[in-house]
Structure 1
Amino acid sequence: MLESMIEVEVVYAAVDRQVLLRVAVPSGATVRAAVKGSGIGAHFPELDLDSCPLGIFGKAVADPAVQLVQEGDRIEIYRPLLADPKEVRRLRAAKAAQARARTPES
């Protein structure tokens, strides 16, 4: 019996380039299996496909080893954050407060 296949996209954007691959995966494949089977690791050997964060259409997938893909899904591989966004906002607000404190009021 032939296994039915579905088509999905796997995309990764590095700092200097991005790759989008359209691949056929078996129906019932998990998000992680689809990424590993896509061949994107050949384009980005530095990626750890076993543990990198993944999402579908901009929404993070909590457990990519369990969640199944659907026809037409766009699976995104996320880069690790270089800085915590909350910490960056806190530092920016503190810097703005210091600048206001140094400026004499008119």
Structure 2
Amino acid sequence: MSDWPSKQVEVVFALPGRCWRETVVVAADATAETVARASGLEQLCREQCGGAPAAYGVFGRKIDAREIVGDGQRLELYRPLTADPRERRRRRAKYKN
């Protein structure tokens, strides 16, 4: 192990019915985007969803891709939405009545 400061981060990507988790050791100043790339799950997200992650989060809180992720945190990769949640609620309300 080198003398450079490092941290350990768990990276999670989920689809309906499937979840992937990877733990990576990265430099102490690694951003969310850097951590996601190091885990290999960003590439998996691109393959499964047709693009880069829509957003990143730490323990359910949305963060910017350039934000530094702390040691021991869980970085979540959020997939793009397939439909506008507001529009889906409007349709459900319309058909209920």
Q: Same fold (TM over 0.5)?
A: yes
Deviation of 1:69 (Å): 0.8
Q: What residue in structure 2 maps to residue 53 of structure 1?
A: 55
Distance 1:28 1:21, change over 3 A: same
Alignment map for 1:19-98 (pairs within 5 Å): 19-41=20-42, 43=44, 46=47, 48-49=51-52, 52-61=54-63, 63-64=64-65, 66-97=66-97
What are the ranges of 5 or more consecutive residues in structure 2 without an aligned counterpart? none
What are the ranges of 5 or more consecutive residues in structure 1 without an aligned counterpart? 98-106
Distance 1:80 1:42, change over 3 A: closer
CA–CA distance in 2 between the matches of 1:4 and 1:32? 18
Contact 2:37 2:43 in 1 (8 A): no
Deviation of 1:16 (Å): 4.0
What CA deviation, in whole Å up to 9, does each residue of 1:82-103 have, x standing for no partner? 1111111111111122xxxxxx
Distance 1:83 1:38, change over 3 A: same
Does the residue aligned with 1:46 lie in a helix, a strand or coil?
helix
Aligned residues: 94
Deviation of 1:52 (Å): 3.4
What CA deviation, in whole Å up to 9, does each residue of 1:28-57 have, x standing for no partner? 1101001001122465560544x5311111
Following TM superposition, where does structure 1 have runs of at least 4 consecutive aligned residues deviating by more than 6 angstroms?
none
> Looking at CA atoms only, which structure, 1 or 2, has the larger radius of gyration?
1
Which structure has the highest strand share of the two? 2
